[in-house]
């Protein structure tokens, strides 16, 4: 038995010595090749600093947690020093470390986005992409001045440009004095009345701020509002929701009815005349979490509510029904950031999605069954990055803002002639105008959205959109810039911008809940 044991040990020792010899030969070969290429040390240095097998690689600096085994104490594992088990353990660790080091340097053939491989420095697509047409935000740097712009000879556009660029901030109060909501503003709007500017804003925590902008500074006193921190205008704050008010709309049938959609999964109707707020829609299961990203009331039916969700669904609900049972269609696998109905033909729906597409739908034709059931798809267009919002205007144009740093304008002027089931070609779905625009809002600024003026008095279509340099930009439906609105006291990006339906008033809100109002 003793002889057999001795023979077994000798066989193991022989194999171990062979492995060590092979490793040393490999290291000598690598050093020779490196020296011949001029990359290694001199022969004297190489000879004097030739590492022992255990120190062949800087093992302690290799951090590949999913590959390299964790080293543990032999004593704690009950392995006696200089035993066969200790030798096997050392050899196994050496082989594992060598393999981990090889894997670390292994070439990978897959494609990468620059953002995925940026190790240190500026964030790519924020300010690190030096090939971008649109640069990073530079507060207060103007990129447009109508005095020096001569791109058009259209007299009407020139007159409008002068008029829009002449709009001034509310002279009685500076923006940093007008805190219309406690938290970041997500939605903004002006009441359709033309008698005075009444501004509404929804924030991150479900608050709705209301400001009468006909107030004069001389008429406002601190004692009028005991909670006021400064002598700003009097603000009325409601809290109809428990989470973010993503969007709201004044009913086209009743100016006293304001409908708001929230991340708390509900739609509420605020009766401004009666001073009541009621829930008009919510999931049948009160525990269901279905955050809403948009809503509209059809101009053809005061009782029909349309909404979209953050999980890619689109719903239609008749508010006259006693049971909250809506028709819901899965239109996208990802978030629908916003949608709109055509103002004149509300059976046409435009949706914008995180899946990078603008899609047009026809509600007159519902096809399919089960999960595949939904309105017929008229056409779609894919952008390089996600599309934040899609807005129809009254003449059949759709404006979108995308994270590819563009505002795209699509022209569907012949949509009034489309029959149910009409389909558009890929060419017909291409934008007619692409405007470069920095839309990199990041984490703390509300996403920028292009919003049309609903009923421009001069019939020149125009929209506004926030500017990361702390302005609001105004463009025509042809992509011509009309104005870049700014002023004293704007200390943050007025990201959420909205036109009055008929008047040339623009309200915009910031992440700090401040109001900027140009009139």
Contact 515, 197 (CB under 8 A): no
- The model's confidence at residue 508, banded by pLDDT at 50, 70 and 90, is very high
pLDDT digits (tens, 9 = 90+) for 93-108: 888 888 776 665 444 3
Q: Give the DSSP per-residue string, 288-322.
A: ----EEEEEE-TT-TTEEEEEETTSEEEEEETT-S
What is the model's pLDDT at position 221? Answer: 58
Average pLDDT of the chain is 83
Indicate the SS3 state at residue 409: strand
| Residue of 381, 392, 495, 378 lying closest to 453 (CA atoms) | 392
| Parallel/antiparallel/unpaired status of strands 387-392 and 374-382 | unpaired
CA-to-CA distance for 386 and 335, rounded, in angstroms?
A: 10
Q: How far is CA 149 from CA 67, 138, 144, 460, 487, in A?
A: 61, 21, 8, 19, 20
Contact 201, 515 (CB under 8 A): yes
What is the model's pLDDT at position 464? Answer: 98
Q: What residue segments make up the domains of the chain, in order of their start?
A: 155-216+232-518
- The model's confidence at residue 3, banded by pLDDT at 50, 70 and 90, is very low
What is the model's pLDDT at position 35? Answer: 67
What is the model's pLDDT at position 20? Answer: 85
Q: Of 87-91, 266-270, 447-451, which one has max mean pLDDT?
A: 447-451
Could you say which of 2.130.10.10, 2.40.160.20, 1.10.3720.10, 3.40.50.2000 is the CATH number of the domain covering 155-216+232-518? 2.130.10.10
Q: How big is the CA angle at 19 (ends 3 and 24), to the nearest 5 degrees?
A: 135
295-320 average pLDDT score = 95
| Residue of 264, 269, 292, 288 lying closest to 279 (CA atoms) | 269
Which residue did the predictor score with more confidence, 179 or 321?
179
Q: How big is the CA angle at 422 (ends 375 and 415), to the nearest 5 degrees?
A: 100
Contact 24, 53 (CB under 8 A): yes
Q: How far apart are the first and last CA of the chain?
A: 104
pLDDT digits (tens, 9 = 90+) for 387-416: 999 999 999 999 999 999 999 999 999 999
Which residue did the predictor score with more confidence, 231 or 360?
360
CA-to-CA distance for 346 and 279, rounded, in angstroms?
A: 24
CA-to-CA distance for 486 and 360, rounded, in angstroms?
A: 35
Token duo for residue 51: 């590492």
Token duo for residue 455: 């009923």
278-296 average pLDDT score = 91
pLDDT > 90? residue 34: no
CA-to-CA distance for 183 and 192, rounded, in angstroms?
A: 25
b vs e for 473-495, b when ≥16 Cβ sit within 10 Å of the residue's Cβ?
Answer: bbbbbbebbbbbbbbeebebbbb
- The model's confidence at residue 12, banded by pLDDT at 50, 70 and 90, is confident
Token duo for residue 312: 């890619």
């Amino acid at each position: 038995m003793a002889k057999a044991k001795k023979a077994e040990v000798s066989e193991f020792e022989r194999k171990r010595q062979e492995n060590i010899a092979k490793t040393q030969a490999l290291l000598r070969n690598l050093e020779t090749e490196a020296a011949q290429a001029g990359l290694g040390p001199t022969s004297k240095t190489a000879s004097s600093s030739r590492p022992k097998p255990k120190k062949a690689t800087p093992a302690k600096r290799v951090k590949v947690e999913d590959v390299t085994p964790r080293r543990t104490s032999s004593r704690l594992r009950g392995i006696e020093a200089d035993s066969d088990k200790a030798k096997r353990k050392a050899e196994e660790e050496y082989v594992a470390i060598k393999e981990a080091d090889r894997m670390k340097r292994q070439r990978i053939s897959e494609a990468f986005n620059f953002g995925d491989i940026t190790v240190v420095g500026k964030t790519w697509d924020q300010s690190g992409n030096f090939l971008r047409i649109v640069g990073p935000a530079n507060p207060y740097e103007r990129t447009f001045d109508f005095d020096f712009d001569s791109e058009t000879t259209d007299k009407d556009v020139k007159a409008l440009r002068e008029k829009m660029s002449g709009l001034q901030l509310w002279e009685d109060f500076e923006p940093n004095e007008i805190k219309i909501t406690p938290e970041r503003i997500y939605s903004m709007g002006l009441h359709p009345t033309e008698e005075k500017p009444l501004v509404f804003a929804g924030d991150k925590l479900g608050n709705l701020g209301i400001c009468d902008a006909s107030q004069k500074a001389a008429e406002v006193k601190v004692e009028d509002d005991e909670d006021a921190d400064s002598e700003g205008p009097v603000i009325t704050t409601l809290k109809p929701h428990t989470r973010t008010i993503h969007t709201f709309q004044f009913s086209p049938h009743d100016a006293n009815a304001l409908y708001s959609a929230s991340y708390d999964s509900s739609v509420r109707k605020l009766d401004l005349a009666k001073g009541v707020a009621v829930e008009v829609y919510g999931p049948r299961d009160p525990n269901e979490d279905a955050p809403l990203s948009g809503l509209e009331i059809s101009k053809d039916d005061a009782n029909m509510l349309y909404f979209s969700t953050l999980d890619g669904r689109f719903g239609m609900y008749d508010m006259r029904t006693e049971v909250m049972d809506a028709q819901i269609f899965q239109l996208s696998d990802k978030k629908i950031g916003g949608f709109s109905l055509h103002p004149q033909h509300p059976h046409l729906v435009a949706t914008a999605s995180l899946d990078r597409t603008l899609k047009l739908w026809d509600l007159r034709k519902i096809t399919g069954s089960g999960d595949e059931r939904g309105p017929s798809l008229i056409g779609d267009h894919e952008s390089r990055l996600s599309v934040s919002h899609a807005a129809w205007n009254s003449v059949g144009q759709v404006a979108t803002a995308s994270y590819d740093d563009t505002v795209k304008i699509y022209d569907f002027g012949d949509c009034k002639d489309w029959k149910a089931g009409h389909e558009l070609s890929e060419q017909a779905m291409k934008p007619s105008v692409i405007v470069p625009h920095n839309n990199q809002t990041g984490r703390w600024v509300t996403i920028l959205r292009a919003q049309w003026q609903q009923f421009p008095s001069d019939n020149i279509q125009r929209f506004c959109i926030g500017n990361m340099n702390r302005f609001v930009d105004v463009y025509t439906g042809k992509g011509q810039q009309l104005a870049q609105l700014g002023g004293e006291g704007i200390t943050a990006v007025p990201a959420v911008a909205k036109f009055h339906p008929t008047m040339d008033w623009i309200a915009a809100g910031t992440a700090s809940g401040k109001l900027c109002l140009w009139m």
